């Protein structure tokens, strides 16, 4: 769909006297983001109390990406055809179904696996269609870029508050396997009620749902996209999930009595750090220095932060006899990793917006986002290799891969800038 077509489809009334309607769609993003990340401290709960192995628990955590990637690639184009409201409503409903399935997780790993895949599909649908909806509903505002910021803030509130509340409820509340999922169900139910009265911004296409272009993988003919953007993309959530899940799992034993709340705090710190750094990263991307294609400063900065954070994590994992400090240092390293994830995300999105022709922008953005979520496999891979090398050694290898990625992508950036 071309940019002109997109403008022509967004013709249904968005009352300028009701500018608050964007908040209704934003609440849906918060509810789904909450559901997506509330599982982070629960990984530790299932390990400590159900005897689930670290690799199995982290594999279930990573199954989220298996649902999210197709959700991202399909739901955005689908919402262009049938409208934002039905797709986002479906996403919120599916997130509630996922929550109910996860409540049954203490009865077997199949419940947890199914719940995580369903939450991934819900997230992909909400983040693609919902973000576009918030932007379109914000069009009545005069502040440039307000829609994108609002969508980002809405998701981040869910990402950060979800694990914090879930960890606290799992730690100190009754029915630790069930109660942590209840707040998200209540929030999602409230979002559903508000969505019913939220204005649609897209007319249904006469051609129907089926047909060419519903799933279009774009950007693979662009050398810079393939050589610079995609190789760094897995580091976005690779860095985030190492800080959210893997490191807290290693150090939670040193904070007995509050390990679940601690895991939720680590996830919240990582997510919120990633968002707090984004305004500064956007300013760099928009500056003349940030526009220099041959010297991608944001890319270099992001990979330096990720590599430095991973080296710090390796040092924390190697500490002996300093148990209390391990927990504190893990949170400090989570801030660095969160900064790295936020900077790389801004760089990737800015590059996609610069490289993509109007008709391919949505498709290339979906491809980039899908590859970023491959990073969700990082905690599982590290845990699966625990018999091969120590955690500190494995993290040193990850840091070395970060350096290699930086060398290759910076070189490719210079080569493609010269052409």
String of DSSP letters for 29-97 = HHHHHHHHHTHHHHHHHHHHHH---HHHHHHHHHHHHHHHHHHHHHHHHHHHHH-HHHHHHHHHHHHHH
| Mean per-residue pLDDT over the chain, rounded | 84
Q: Are 145 and 353 in contact (CB under 8 A)?
A: no
pLDDT at residue 19, rounded to an integer:
57
pLDDT value at residue 14: 44
Residue 360 contacts by C-beta under 8 Å, 6 or more apart in sequence? 216, 218, 219
Torsion of CA 10, 92, 265, 52, to 10 degrees: -140
Taking residues 301-312, report their average pLDDT: 95
The H-or-E segment that residue 190 falls in is: helix 182-195
Does residue 211 belong to any structural domain of this protein?
no
Which whole-number Å values give the CA distances from 157 to 42, 188, 380, in the listed order? 19, 14, 26
* Least confident segment among 3-17, 248-262, 306-320, 394-408: 3-17
- pLDDT tops 70 at residue 207: no
**Last residue of one domain, picked from the residues 205, 235, 265:** 205
Looking at the structure, tell me whether residues 273 and 135 fall in a common domain.
no
Number of H helices, E strands in the chain: 20, 0
* Within a domain: 357: yes
Q: What torsion, rounded to 10 degrees, do the Cα atoms 263, 269, 271, 275 define?
A: 180
Please check the confidence at residue 275 and state whether its pLDDT lies above 50. Answer: yes
Listed in sequence order, the DSSP H helices in 255-322 are 259-276, 278-286, 297-318
Domain count, the chain: 2
Half-sphere exposure of 169 (CA within 13 A, CB side): 20
Question: Is the model's pLDDT at 380 over the cut of 60?
Answer: yes
Angstrom distances, CA of residue 62 to CA of 40, 59, 113, 332, 376: 10, 5, 9, 24, 5
Domain shared by 343 and 410, yes or no = yes
Over residues 388-416, the mean pLDDT reads 93
Q: Are residues 67 and 144 in the same domain?
A: yes
Which pLDDT belongs to residue 1?
38
Same domain, 235 and 150: no
336/280 Cα distance (integer angstroms): 15
Which residue, 98, 258, 107, 55, is CA-closest to 170?
Answer: 258
Name every residue whose Cβ is closer than 8 Å to that of residue 351 and which is 6 or more positions away in sequence: 224, 225, 228, 229
**Which residues, including other chains, have CB under 8 Å from residue 133's CB and lie 6 or more apart?**
25, 79, 84, 85, 88, 198, 201
Give the pLDDT band of residue 350 (cuts 50, 70, 90).
confident
Are both 36 and 154 inside the same structural domain? Answer: yes
**Same structural domain for residues 178 and 291?**
no
Instruction: Establish if 233 belongs to a structural domain.
Output: yes
Residue 11 within a domain: no
Q: What pLDDT band is residue 53 in, cutting at 50, 70 and 90? A: confident
Give dist(CA 4, CA 84) in Å, integer. 18
The answer to the question of residue 12 being in a domain is no
Res. 148: pLDDT tops 90: no
Buried/exposed 167-199: b ≥16 CB within 10 Å, e otherwise? bbbbbeeeebbbebbbbbbebbeebbebbeebb
Task: Please tell me the pTM assigned to this model.
Answer: 0.80
What number is the average pLDDT over the span 16-34? 82
User: Residue 360: which of 167, 222, 209, 183 has the closest Cα?
Assistant: 222
pLDDT in tens, 97-119: 999 999 999 888 999 999 999 99
Average the pLDDT over each of 58-67, 309-318, 356-365 and give the range with the smallest value: 356-365
Note the pLDDT of residue 34. 95
| Strand positions, DSSP E, 115-225 | none
Q: Residue 90 falls within a domain, yes or no?
A: yes
Confidence class for position 2, pLDDT limits 50, 70, 90: very low
Asked if 387 and 368 touch (Cβ cutoff 8 Å), the reply is no
Q: Are residues 353 and 256 in the same domain?
A: yes
Q: Give residue 28's pLDDT band: very low, low, confident or very high (50, 70, 90).
A: very high
Nearest to 262 by CA among 164, 374, 157: 164
Return the percentage of the chain with pLDDT > 70, whole number: 85
- Confidence (pLDDT) at 211: 47
Residue with structure tokens 């508050």? 161
Element housing 181 (H / E) = none
Final residue belonging to a domain, choices 205, 237, 268: 205
Residues 45, 51, 55, CA angle at the centre, nearest 5°?
85
Same domain, 57 and 123: yes
Are 148 and 262 within one domain? no
186, 227: one domain: no
CATH number assigned to the domain comprising residue 419: 1.20.1250.20
Which has more pLDDT, 105 or 12? 105
> Which of the four pLDDT bands, split at 50, 70 and 90, describes residue 12?
very low
Asked if residue 213 is part of any domain, the answer here is no
Q: Select from 205, 238, 273 the last residue of a domain.
A: 205
377, part of any domain:
yes
Reading the block at residue 98, the tokens are 């996922």
pLDDT at 71: 86
Which residues are CB-neighbours of 350 under 8 A, at least 6 positions away? 282, 285, 290, 298
Do 200 and 228 fall into the same domain? no
Same domain, 396 and 320: yes
Distances (CA, A) of 331 to 248, 335, 392: 9, 7, 17
pLDDT score, position 149: 73
Host domain of residue 192: 1-6+20-205
């Amino acid at each position: 769909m071309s940019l002109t077509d997109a403008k022509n489809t967004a013709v249904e009334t968005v009352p300028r006297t009701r500018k608050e309607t964007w908040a209704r769609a934003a609440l849906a993003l918060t509810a789904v983001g909450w559901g997506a990340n509330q599982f982070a401290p629960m990984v530790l709960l299932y390990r400590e109390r159900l005897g689930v192995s670290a690799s199995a628990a982290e594999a279930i955590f990573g199954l989220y990406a298996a649902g999210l990637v197709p959700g991202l690639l399909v739901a955005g184009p689908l919402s262009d055809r049938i409208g934002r409201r039905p797709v986002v409503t479906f996403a919120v409903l599916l997130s509630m179904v996922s929550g109910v399935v996860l409540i049954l997780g203490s009865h077997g790993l199949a419940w947890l696996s199914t719940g995580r895949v369903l939450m991934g599909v819900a997230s992909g649908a909400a983040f693609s269609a919902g973000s576009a909806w918030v932007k379109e509903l914000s069009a009545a505002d005069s502040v440039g870029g307000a829609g994108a910021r609002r969508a980002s803030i809405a998701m981040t509130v869910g990402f950060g508050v979800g694990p914090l509340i879930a960890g606290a409820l799992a730690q100190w509340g009754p029915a630790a396997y069930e109660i942590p999922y209840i707040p998200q169900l209540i929030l999602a139910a409230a979002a559903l009620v508000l969505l019913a009265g939220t204005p649609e911004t897209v007319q249904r296409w006469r051609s129907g749902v089926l047909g060419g272009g519903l799933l279009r993988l774009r950007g693979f003919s662009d050398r810079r996209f393939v050589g610079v953007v995609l190789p760094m993309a897995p580091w976005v959530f690779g860095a985030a999930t190492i800080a959210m899940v893997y490191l807290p799992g290693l150090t939670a034993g040193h904070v007995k009595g509050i390990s679940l709340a601690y895991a939720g705090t680590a996830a919240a710190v990582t997510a919120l750090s990633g968002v707090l750094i984004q305004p500064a990263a956007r300013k760099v991307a928009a500056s003349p220095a940030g526009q220099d294609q041959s010297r991608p400063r944001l890319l270099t900065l992001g990979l330096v932060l990720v590599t430095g954070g991973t080296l710090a994590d390796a040092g924390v994992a190697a500490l002996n006899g300093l148990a209390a400090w391990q927990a504190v240092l893990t949170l400090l390293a989570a801030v660095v990793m969160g900064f790295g994830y936020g900077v790389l995300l801004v760089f990737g999105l800015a590059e996609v917006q610069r490289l993509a022709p109007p008709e391919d922008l949505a498709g290339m953005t979906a491809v980039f986002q899908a590859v970023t979520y491959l990073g969700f496999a990082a905690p599982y891979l590290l845990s699966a290799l625990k018999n091969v090398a120590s955690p500190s050694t494995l993290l040193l290898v990850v840091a070395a891969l970060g350096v290699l990625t930086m060398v290759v992508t910076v070189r490719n950036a210079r080569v493609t800038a010269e052409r």
